[in-house]
Amino acid sequence: MVMLMKPADIFKENSEFFDRYSRIDSSQEFLEYMAKPLRQSIRVNTLKIERGRIGEIVENLKNDFELGQIPWCEEGFFVNTGVRSGRITLTVEHQLGLIFSQEASSMIPPVILELRPGMKVLDMAASPGAKTTQIAAYMENRGCIIANDVKFSRLNVLISNIQKCGVLIAKVTMMDGRTFRKWENRFDRVLLDAPCSNVGMIRKNFKYMKIWKMRDVVALSRLQKQLIRAAYRTLKPGGILVYSTCTLDPMENEEVVDSLLSTTDATLEEIKIPVKGREPFTEFEGEKYDSEVKKCLRIHPQDNNTEGFFVAKILKG
Amino acid sequence: MKENGDSIKRSGKKSGKKSGKDSEEKIEKVIGLLREQFGVEKVDFELKEMGKDRIYAFRCEEFEGEPDHLDFIHHGFYFGKLEKDGLRLSIEGSFLVGRLATKNVVEINREDVEKWMMGENLNLNSMNLNFKSGREYREISDGYVILKCGSYFLGCGKLRDGVIRNFIPKNRQIKVGK
């Protein structure tokens, strides 16, 4: 059980990881929160119930669970264990698709995409579909979402979540995201929730720390730079691209955004939502990044008691 | 006539696997059943058959500037099944048209919702039905009925001899004691 282990003991299991992350966040608080299990959170699916009736769902669930508003997402709630020992995923509301189990920080990218009904949106690495379904909700099931993923094994869960949430406008494709570079200026909005080393998810599943390797970070960083360029190219002028990862390595975050800024006319916009973040890296291990990356949002687990997360809001002129 | 609720649309284009005459006839039949069974006259989405008698609902057939040669694996969601004796809506299908339905809608209470979601059949005689005399509940007859509880729609059941047969798929049921 993760709960019973001391933080230092946990990280002894992967010394390469410990060395690397000591340079990213050396605080005791970081270690403590990384060792804590992730608190549950849900999003009310406004494709199945009107926004004005979110309170009804909350009231029904309050009989068995203690819910707390997520400050940066109106329909998002933290879940504390309630009277009944059951899990929220076994409730009527969950099984009917009225609520969706989703990590609180992962609700940020669709919130900042400034979505409207009728838009054409690309979700480049869509599985398992939490953000795809949230995007569809903000678009009120009007417009079109291309929900893409490269792995066949991940499509089943994506399609299942599209079904359960009642998404009418998602077309699922299976392609290498880099292929989208062929289609220039096509989408109003692009979300690239990039494949990453999943350090933020260690609180959810400890295996992510055990399998972490520095050489994977290097390979992922290379892939992320290619994906972000393709994502930017397929975005229409005046459109918004959101780049996010659930990891904290600057090589997979600030460095990827910096690579786009240095090779295109992309600009960054500051993310103004009520969430606690910390100063992004403008320099790491001798690499200097464009000072614009300060506008990105870097969230460490102890900041809001969520998983670690990184988000950049990119504009195309 | 795109997404304005003028009428129910049918499709057999790029994203629909079946586009033959047989499939089009089935969609016509579904449209007819939505009217006859549930009193749904107008909806603002499109329908297609994907797999034998399995009907899917979707929007956004194609958009201007859509990348060409995209091979869609999936589009929209499973709306319901065209059975020999009527249209059986999925949970999502019932959410989509439930608010528009004027007949064959059975409103149940929270206690019966739990039973229904556990996969139990419901007996009309022993149920604490919330029948209303208003617009929404004019008529309930034998055959497929939509179940609802307040804002929740619970898919379709089949009413016969006072018993509503349960069709909630196992993976959507709630399990006792977990």
Q: Is A296 a catalytic residue?
A: no
HEC secondary structure over chain A: CHHHCCHHHHHHCCHHHHHHHHHHCCCHHHHHHHHCCCCEEEEECCCCCCHHHHHHHHHHHHCCCEEEECCCCCCEEEEECCCCCCCHHHCHHHHCCCEEECCHHHHHHHHHCCCCCCCEEEECCCCCCHHHHHHHHHCCCCCEEEEECCCHHHHHHHHHHHHHHCCCCEEEECCCHHHHHHCCCCEEEEEEECCCCCHHHHHCCCHHHHCCCHHHHHHHHHHHHHHHHHHHHHEEEEEEEEEEECCCCHHHCHHHHHHHHHHCCCEEECCCCCCCCECCCCEECCEECCHHHHHCEEECHHHHCCCCEEEEEEECC
Which of A276, A259, A269 lies closest to A296, judged by CA?
Answer: A269
Mean pLDDT lowest for which of A134-138, B41-45, B81-85?
B41-45
pTM for this prediction: 0.93
Interchain contact, A92 vs B152, CB within 8 Å: yes
Q: What residues make up the domain containing B164?
A: 105-172
Interchain contact, B67 vs A174, CB within 8 Å: no
For residue B57, the chain A residue with the least C-alpha distance is: A168
- Once rounded to an integer, what is the mean pLDDT over residues A33-46? 94
Interchain contact, B66 vs A144, CB within 8 Å: yes
Give a yes or no: residue B93 inside a domain.
Answer: no
Same domain, B83 and B20: yes
Task: Identify the band that residue A270 occupies on the pLDDT scale cut at 50, 70 and 90.
Answer: very high
Interchain contact, A167 vs B77, CB within 8 Å: yes
- For the segment A88-133, what is each residue's pLDDT rounded down to a tens digit? 988 999 999 999 999 999 999 999 999 999 999 999 999 999 999 9
Domains, chain A, with CATH or none: 40-101 (3.30.70.1170), 104-315 (3.40.50.150)
Same domain, B109 and B83: no
Same domain, B79 and B18: yes
In whole angstroms, give the CA distance from residue A242 to residue A249: 18
Interchain contact, B77 vs A168, CB within 8 Å: yes
Look at residue B6 in the predicted model and tell me its pLDDT. Answer: 37
Give a yes or no: residue B2 inside a domain.
Answer: no
Count of domains forming chain B: 2
Interchain contact, B151 vs A50, CB within 8 Å: yes
Same domain, B80 and B111: no
Contacts of A155 in chain B (CB under 8 A): 73-74
- From the list A96, A168, A173, the residue facing B76 with the nearest CB is A168
Same domain, B65 and B113: no
Same domain, B13 and B71: yes
- From the list A90, A146, A185, the residue facing B70 with the nearest CB is A146
pLDDT of residue B136 exceeding 60: no
The catalytic position among A165, A196, A246, A296 is A246
HEC secondary structure over chain B: CCCCCCCCEECCCCCCCCCCHHHHHHHHHHHHHHHHHHCCCCCCCEEEECCCCEEEEECCCCCCCCCCCCCEEEECEEEEEEECCEEEECHHHHHHHHCCCCCCEEECCHHHHHHHHCCCCEECCCCCCCCCCCHHHCCCCCEEEEEEECCEEEEEEEEECCEEECCCCHHHCCCCCC
Interchain contact, A155 vs B172, CB within 8 Å: no
- From the list B58, B71, B117, the residue facing A168 with the nearest CB is B58
Distance from CA of A238 to the nearest CA of B (A): 16
- Once rounded to an integer, what is the mean pLDDT over residues A4-23? 82
Cβ contact A252:A220 at 8 Å: yes
pLDDT of residue B20 exceeding 80: no
- Once rounded to an integer, what is the mean pLDDT over residues B28-52? 94
Interface mutation target, options B43, B45, B95, B175, chain A, most CBs of A under 10 Å: B95
pLDDT of residue A275 exceeding 90: yes
- ipTM above 0.95? no
Same domain, B16 and B79: yes
Same domain, B75 and B120: no
Give a yes or no: residue B4 inside a domain.
Answer: no
- From the list A141, A173, A186, the residue facing B71 with the nearest CB is A173
Interface mutation target, options A171, A173, A182, chain B, most CBs of B under 10 Å: A171
In whole angstroms, give the CA distance from residue A250 to residue B38: 56
Same domain, B116 and B83: no
Same domain, B145 and B81: no
Same domain, B54 and B24: yes
- For the segment B139-171, what is each residue's pLDDT rounded down to a tens digit? 788 999 999 999 999 999 999 999 999 999 999
Which chain B residues have any C-beta within 8 angstroms of a chain A C-beta?
A: 3, 15, 45, 57-60, 63, 65-67, 70-78, 91-92, 95-96, 110, 113-114, 117, 150-154, 172-175, 178
- From the list A90, A168, A173, the residue facing B73 with the nearest CB is A173
Task: Count residue pairs from A and B with Cβ separation < 8 A.
Answer: 103
Task: Identify the band that residue A277 occupies on the pLDDT scale cut at 50, 70 and 90.
Answer: very high
| Side chain identity, residue A164 | K
The CATH code of the domain that includes B142 is: 2.30.130.60
